[in-house]
Amino acid sequence: MHDYNNYNLEEYLDGVKTIGMCGHIRPDGDCVGSCIGLYGYLKHHYSQIDVDLYLEPIPEEFRFLKYTDEIKNDAGNEKEYDLFIALDASDEERLGDFLPHFKNAKKTLCIDHHISNHSYADDNIVFPNASSTCEVLYTIIDEEKIDYDIACALYLGIIHDSGVFKYSNTSELTMKIAGRLMSKGIPFTEIIDRTFYEKTYIQNQILGRALLESVMFYDGKCVFSVVRKEEFEFYNINASDLDGIVEQLRLTKGVECAIFLYETGELEYKVSLRSKNVLNVSEIATYFGGGGHVRAAGCNMKGTVYDVINNISERIALQLD
Ligand SMILES: [Mn+2]
């Protein structure tokens, strides 16, 4: 079933006594799923190895996963791990506070699926065609050793990064793996509803507002919306409450590219880009110092909203015209 790689995690664990691991800053479903999946796998089947998992605080809805209360939110003292594993992080900077542990380690391994990943670790298992890091992880571990808890974590990551199996990164293999994970008896309906679709009342309100104030441009081929600092304060929300807005914008009929910005500082924005069929948004995000996937990418940009949209539009025009 592992038709795209021959890697085996086992090979990297030879003689290893201590492992540190982490995902990227602002952990999402695939980041948490892959980290918890691998952590559980190592804890369960390699009990002779000391493993520390570092992550920034994770969204509440992922806390049902086993082992989430063992996550270390603080980098703590300097340590020298035999092996440090970075998951779902396209570059070193995305390791945030935990980068020193990565740099200090005797050996490093990166497991990822971002097309913009430039192989920054000693060993890199990076498959841009995989739906998710969880999918890549599944293919390098021993299928029989995946228990219920690990299956829940991997399934969660796959559904989040594939948009519940609808994004173009979803393959036959993705579905086969999901099927195998389902065979472990996981509550898949609940995982999808509770972690992917469910929104709080406030999240629905901010989504509604972002849609109401969205602006179409480029003959209706593009749409953008923005959430400003004042709105963060007014609704008492944080960035994770904005998940799903850009996807709803992308679904607008006739739109090829959706752009969603939220203000992170004075004239500073976090930019999310989504495309439907032709536009390579990873190329655009990378141009502005970010990264991501062909149909979903992001970057940070400075200037007025007008400047930001203008600059992005120029890059879009280069591809579409
Ligand atoms: Mn991912």
Q: Round to whole Å and give the CA distance between 60 and 195.
A: 9
pTM of the model: 0.83
Tell me, in angstroms, the distance from the centre of ligand 1 to residue 49's CA. Answer: 26
Tell me, in angstroms, the distance from the centre of ligand 1 to residue 219's CA. Answer: 32
Question: What is 9-197's CATH superfamily?
Answer: inorganic pyrophosphatase (n-terminal core) (3.90.1640.10)
Average pLDDT over residues 114-137: 95
Q: Is the dihedral angle over the CA atoms 101, 104, 110, 112 positive or is it negative?
A: positive
CATH number of 201-320: 3.10.310.30
Tell me, in angstroms, the distance from the centre of ligand 1 to residue 112's CA. Answer: 7
Where in the chain are the domains?
9-197, 201-320
Tell me, in angstroms, the distance from the centre of ligand 1 to residue 31's CA. Answer: 6
Q: Looking at the predicted structure, is the pLDDT value of residue 293 above 90?
A: no
User: In 3D, which of 85, 78, 6 has the Cα closest to residue 38?
Assistant: 85
Q: Which DSSP string corresponds to 125-179?
A: EE-TTSS-HHHHHHHHS-GGG--HHHHHHHHHHHHHHTTTTTSTT--HHHHHHHH
Tell me, in angstroms, the distance from the centre of ligand 1 to residue 114's CA. Answer: 7
pLDDT digits (tens, 9 = 90+) for 126-141: 999 999 999 999 999 9
pLDDT at 4: 67
Tell me, in angstroms, the distance from the centre of ligand 1 to residue 131's CA. Answer: 8
Average pLDDT over the chain, rounded to whole? 96
| Pairing mode of beta strands 83-87, 18-22 | parallel
Tell me, in angstroms, the distance from the centre of ligand 1 to residue 232's CA. Answer: 26
Asked whether the domain spanning 201-320 has the same topology as the one spanning 9-197, the reply is: no
Q: How does residue 2 score in pLDDT terms, banded at 50, 70 and 90?
A: low
3-state secondary structure (DSSP) of residue 109: strand
pLDDT at 3: 59
Tell me, in angstroms, the distance from the centre of ligand 1 to residue 182's CA. Answer: 20
